[in-house]
Amino acid sequence: MDNLFDENTGVLFDAILSLKTQEDCKNFFSDLCTVKEIKEFSQRFEVARLLSEGLVYSDIAEKTGASTTTISRVNRSLNYGAGGYRAVISNTCDSDKE
């Protein structure tokens, strides 16, 4: 995993951190990624959110259209990954419940 992170990746992450609004994010990611990539990212995040709420694979697949393979990979990242999904879910989705 460490070979994924280099100077260019750091510059990209700094660029993402500089975005201030959802509109800025939309514009940047529209330029950076294909429509398919953005949809895949958003689907994975929705899967992570639903898994963290305790939904089962079949309900998540029905609700999101994600394959069970994708759900399984996201679940593995949630449980054994670097904690990125959990941090973002905690920072964004938990505040929706208040």
26-46 pLDDT, tens digit each: 999 999 999 999 999 999 999
Per-residue pLDDT band at 98 (split at 50, 70, 90)? very low
pTM of the model: 0.86
Calculate helix-pair angle for 84-92, 68-80, nearest 10 degrees: 90
46-92 pLDDT, tens digit each: 999 999 999 999 999 999 999 999 999 999 999 999 999 999 999 98
- Residue-level pLDDT at 20: 98
Q: How far apart are CA 57 and CA 50, in angstroms?
A: 9
